[in-house]
A and B are shown apart, each in its own frame.
Chain A
Amino acid sequence: MKQFIAFVRKEFRHIMRDNRTLLIILGMPVVEILLFGFAINMEVQNIRVAFYDPTPDAFTTGIAERIRQNSYFNYQGNMQSMEEMEVAMRKGKLDLAVVFPQNFQESLVHSGKAAVQLLSNSSDPNRGSISATYATAIIASFQQEHTKLIQIPFQIQTENRMIYNPLMKSSYMFVPGIMGLVLMIICTIMTSVSIVREKERGTMEVLLASPLKQGTMIFAKTIPYMVISFIDFIIILLLSYFVLGVPINGSLLLLFMIAILYINLTLSYGLTVSTLVDKQVNAVIFSAITAMIPVLMLSGMIFPIDNMPLVLQALSAIVPARWFIEAVRKVMIQGLGITMIWKEILILIGMTLFLLGVTIAKTKKRLE
């Protein structure tokens, strides 16, 4: 136990004496929150939208009207044919086309189901997917109101994830994403680098030649980063609540629990990386490529997962941040309880155990 404490103390000293790194790991969440919150406007405005509605009825005109009224959209007119629509799209005159099937109302009333097709201009994939998401949300809210109104259960098939974000502010989307990103960077890169540094500087040789157990060392290595990343988590939470005005609708305790699970997972990943590389540079590159980029691209932080091709959707399932972000969104924004996130929790725990297993199997008690 004394060994353990001495080791943890040593690790804290390393961190505290490296002012530049300390500044980065504590300043990063602040910068990212402010950057995403103010500088990078994830909101898409002035979406040029057109409709194709072969058989107009009360529902389709109602939906079209809703979209036209919304300030994010800029109505371009009704198209007379799919061909006309495609031409306009190809010429870059449209961002989004809403296509109603024939006899929309009829099929809705009879089968309780109908699909609206949303065609987004993918020359700017981000703008396109966000436009589609906005439209989806509007349709969903329309459906909800009418379900209450006419007392018949029916379903317009579209994604309704933004129903809990009536203002459609993008900060609701990215705050959980930034949490996922920052924790991943700190835990994975910092832990792997701190272990690999010992290999590179030769101190690992001395540690190995001592009675210190490998397990003690590895566990002790993670403690400081656990503390720091938890502090970062709280910084992000405070900033997003007070500065960006993102509500915390669910249980704070549950939120902390998810954070700790995720931190453990990312720490485990950092340990795994450290068993695979021998140089600090490689540790950084490896962590960045395998941890950071997937968080940015595949976690749903920026690009909605439902808009991804199936292959990427499948790939996103092994990105830990995806499950963390989903869990945080559910608890923080939607205010759901633990019963609604048991799947995410189990996946996070499972991934952690898997990575720890790999680390233990790969950890050497000798130099080679």
Chain B
Amino acid sequence: MKELVIISGKGGTGKTSLLAAFAYLAKNKVLCDGDVDAADLHLIMDPVVQKRHDFESGNTAVINIDKCTECGLCRELCKWDAISEDFEVDSIECEGCGVCVYFCPEDAIDFPVNTCGEWFISDTRFGPMVHARLGIAEENSGKLVSLVRQEARKLVEEKHLDLLLTDGPPGVGCPVIASIGGATALLIVSEPTVSGKHDMERVVQLAAHFQVPAMLCVNKFDLNPDATESIEAFAKQNNVKPLGRVPFDPVFTKSMANIIQIQKQRMRLRMSGKI
């Protein structure tokens, strides 16, 4: 089984659009939306949900006021200042470390498990898809990314397919790290802007750090041909193979607005046979 993960560093460079194009082209695959924070792939794929599961992860402290003697030890120990003077826990600030729960002399702090979101196995016209929805303002997005990838891999095995196509999140932090570990290869989608290049350099470093082979595609390449050249040169120096370029064309945005597959309107991308 092979897994290709699409990442970018900078947001909005075209990860999901490219993944949708590959979903149209590739056979015998499972799709996975690893951007659980702001999952968008389902908007194009129009999945029919077959199985739905809660995503439970982490805990939040809840103080039982009837038992609490307001000794203040929990407030002293809490590194996140999550407990107010009235001994109420701010669930957004609470890290779920359980230190207050452990040390409370009155056993007055409950520690229920959080339901932070849900994940789905769905059918789409392009094949099975595993995706998720992280609750707003929730934590543990990295764990949810790991979970959907793991489930998507299982599905590839069960159905005797060959390929997993994963749409990754932006950035270089926790959810991105969770989306690239153990992948066969990464496709970095960049754009020829100063920020696109800056962010792409950081994901190239990240790929090297975790020793995952990476390739490059420059979207909107003709917006700034010099910047495209310089991005591709940086990639080559760092053993990241430039595979293709996509032109800047407002038709892309318009077709997204109509949720039409980009290749149905205009498919100019010449991808290497490897993908």
A and B co-occur in one complex: no
Interface residues of B (CB under 8 A from A): none
